Structure 1
């Protein structure tokens, strides 16, 4: 079951670099987010998840990000998550502003059903997904193709909601962007 999400969208330069990494993997014939052709597909940091978002939670999300301004972030090294099928991502180095945003959204989600443990404060690993569904051999190939990931300084410029039931996204805070 797809989960409802609150996502931080990246500034144009950081978005372009992540899309370049997606393209490098796709060009090598490896799994990549570039192969996800949905109109809502954009590099992002997942800030909160739930099985559904009742109206009262939606209102709290809006209040939590109503004064959102660009938040500086640093994308660090490549990160591999999973156990049978793997996710390759860029680690987003936690900073006080990012942690405060995520904690305020976690508080806004109280009462929403099916909030996964991995997005609860203290358990959350901020990241930007590069590829999903890699086998163990493909992980090694992807790491070799991408090489050493240089740190990348950028920013989260807007916050959007993803509703998998309706198949749509909308901006809830920050600047309008291509992916919101």
Structure 2
């Protein structure tokens, strides 16, 4: 499986990593416990079976609007076998247009194979993952308590910045490839 992901600017990346560490220090499941070198804050736009050269060209055109605004809002909790705690990403119009362009670029590339329908426009829920757990971990904690763990003391001010780059993660090789800007990432 291949992903198409957006990467936040350095300030938002630092804020999310700091939140990961605060969750871990509080004894809660956190992405800080995931040591693989490819682990970093990101927003998944789509997944596909493969990225052909034609798909990469279409993706490069779809990703040209970068950077796009990024505002982290409240918390999201996704149920399932692996429960997920995530920071909601405000669905800014520029982000939604970019997401739609990426989806269309992959859908127009037969070699991409099956696209995950959860990432389809209208179903996609933009978020940055904070932690995953196979056991109940956050269900009994109110959002206000969790938000107080995520940010430094003071009134809640959602982190703001921009998505500035894009990459693809290859689940078979556990490696990443820069999509924009071109070059190592």
- Aligned-pair CA distance for 1:141: 4.6
How far apart, in 2, do the equivalents of 1:148 and 1:133 lie?
Answer: 17
Moved more, 101-110 or 133-142: 133-142
Q: How many residues align?
A: 175
Alignment check: 8 A CA contact 2:29 2:137 kept: no
The corresponding residue for 2:58 is 60
Q: Kindly tell me: are residues 173 and 137 of structure 1, through their superposed partners in 2, closer, same or farther at Cα, counting changes over 3 Å?
A: closer
More strand by share: 1
Of the three residues 165, 168, 171, the one matched with 2:175 is: 168
The corresponding residue for 1:113 is 113
Moved more, 153-162 or 48-57: 48-57
- 3-state SS, counterpart of residue 84 of structure 2: strand
Of the three residues 165, 168, 182, the one matched with 1:158 is: 165
User: TM-score normalized by structure 2?
Assistant: 0.84
User: TM-score normalized by structure 1?
Assistant: 0.86
How far apart, in 1, do the equivalents of 2:67 and 2:49 lie?
Answer: 28
How far apart, in 2, do the equivalents of 1:152 and 1:165 lie?
Answer: 33
- 3-state SS, counterpart of residue 147 of structure 1: helix
- 3-state SS, counterpart of residue 86 of structure 2: strand
Moved over 2 A (4+): 51-56, 134-150, 174-177
- Aligned-pair CA distance for 1:138: 3.7
- Aligned-pair CA distance for 1:135: 2.9
Alignment check: 8 A CA contact 1:6 1:46 kept: yes
